[in-house]
């Protein structure tokens, strides 16, 4: 009877699992290594990745291999693996934030064998700024090294790029956009806090794409269009980043045929990067972002 019960139990588990996967439409599947330890880990890890009729994760705690199936019209591997990383589990694509890992039960913690990819040579690059007034403003950006060591180069490079647009210098904007690309590459995601990590995962590719676009475009007006989109992503990042000085989210109502565009500045005085000297004071401060 015991053997029969076990067989019935196994069949039931198989049918439930098969039914779960069958409910997923536009299905794509993949396997990937995810680090964890024990049954507690398995339950938390799978719960982080599973979304009814959208994604299903089955993790083998012996091999550390996860079988992932998902509806490609509703999600993708990056989104699933990001959720799992935010739950505290390193995987081959994303590392868990340190504070998320620390929250795991001691029985669930694992040896963190994966090392973050960090381009130290790029991390040490100097952010250039030829605008003396802006340099004074940037020096006031006293971000906490503990909280901002990874994101500080991104913000500094963004402000340098903004200053180049104020000067309407296409060559300088291209050069400063390259520095922003370097700053993005230098970020060690494993050292970001959970909210920063989640937002960074959402905006990183767009910031990178926007900066790359600016380096490739020679027309200053086209560069500004890319900068407007990039600025919205940096704004999202600023909203979850601890700053010891306020950042001003400013708005130009004239740009893009009257649709308007925004930018971020360390200076409360309006200096419009979308028109430069043509309409330097056009605009207003829409919001002061200050996360202590």
- For residue range 213-254, list pLDDT tens digits in order: 999 999 999 999 999 999 999 999 999 988 768 999 999 998
Looking at the structure, do residues 111 and 162 belong to the same domain, yes or no? Answer: no
Segment 112-171, tens digit of pLDDT: 877 544 333 332 333 333 343 343 344 444 444 444 547 889 999 999 999 999 999 999
Same domain, 160 and 272: yes
pLDDT higher than 70, residue 7: no
* End residue of a domain, out of 59, 84, 115: 115
Q: Which of 115, 132, 150 is the last residue of a domain?
A: 115
**How far is 94 from 179, CA to CA, in rounded Å?**
24
Mean pLDDT of 66-85: 89
Going by C-alpha positions, the residue among 187, 59, 62, 188 that lies closest to residue 115 is: 188
State the pLDDT at residue 212: 97
In the listed set 115, 134, 150, which residue is the last one of a domain according to the structure? Answer: 115
What would the mean pLDDT of 67-88 be, rounded to a whole number? 89
Question: Long-range pairs for 126-134 at CB < 8 Å and ≥24 separation?
Answer: 127/153, 127/156, 127/157, 127/160, 127/179, 127/183, 128/160, 128/175, 128/176, 128/179, 129/159, 129/160, 129/163, 130/163, 130/172, 131/163, 131/166, 131/167, 133/267, 134/159, 134/160, 134/163, 134/266, 134/267
Angle at 206 between CA 71 and CA 73, to 5 degrees: 10
Which residues lie across from 186 on neighbouring strands? Answer: none
């Amino acid at each position: 009877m015991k053997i029969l019960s076990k067989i019935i139990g196994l069949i039931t588990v198989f049918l439930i699992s098969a039914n779960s996967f069958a409910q997923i439409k536009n299905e794509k599947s993949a396997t990937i290594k995810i680090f964890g330890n024990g049954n507690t880990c398995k339950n938390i890890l799978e719960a982080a990745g599973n979304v009814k009729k959208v994604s299903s994760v089955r993790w083998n705690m012996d091999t550390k291999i996860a079988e992932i199936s998902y509806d490609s019209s509703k999600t993708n591997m990056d989104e699933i693996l990001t959720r799992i990383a935010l739950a505290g589990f390193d995987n081959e694509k994303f590392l868990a934030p340190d504070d998320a890992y620390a929250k795991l039960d001691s029985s669930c913690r694992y040896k963190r064998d994966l090392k973050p990819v960090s381009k130290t040579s790029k991390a040490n690059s100097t952010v250039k700024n030829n605008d003396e007034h802006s340099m004074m403003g940037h020096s006031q950006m006293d971000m906490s090294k503990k909280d901002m060591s990874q994101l500080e180069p991104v913000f500094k490079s963004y402000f340098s790029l903004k200053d180049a647009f104020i000067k309407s210098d296409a060559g300088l904007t291209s050069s400063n956009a390259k520095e922003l690309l370097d700053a993005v590459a230098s970020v060690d995601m494993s050292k970001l806090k959970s909210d920063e990590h989640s937002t960074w995962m959402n905006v990183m590719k767009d910031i990178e794409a926007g900066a790359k676009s600016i380096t490739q475009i020679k027309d200053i007006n086209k560069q500004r269009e890319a900068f407007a989109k990039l600025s919205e992503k940096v704004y999202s990042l600023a909203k979850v980043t601890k700053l010891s000085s306020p950042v001003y989210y400013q708005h130009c109502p004239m740009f893009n045929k009257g649709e308007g565009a925004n930018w971020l500045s360390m200076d409360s005085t309006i200096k419009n990067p979308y028109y430069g000297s043509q309409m330097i004071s056009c605009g207003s401060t829409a919001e002061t972002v200050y996360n202590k």
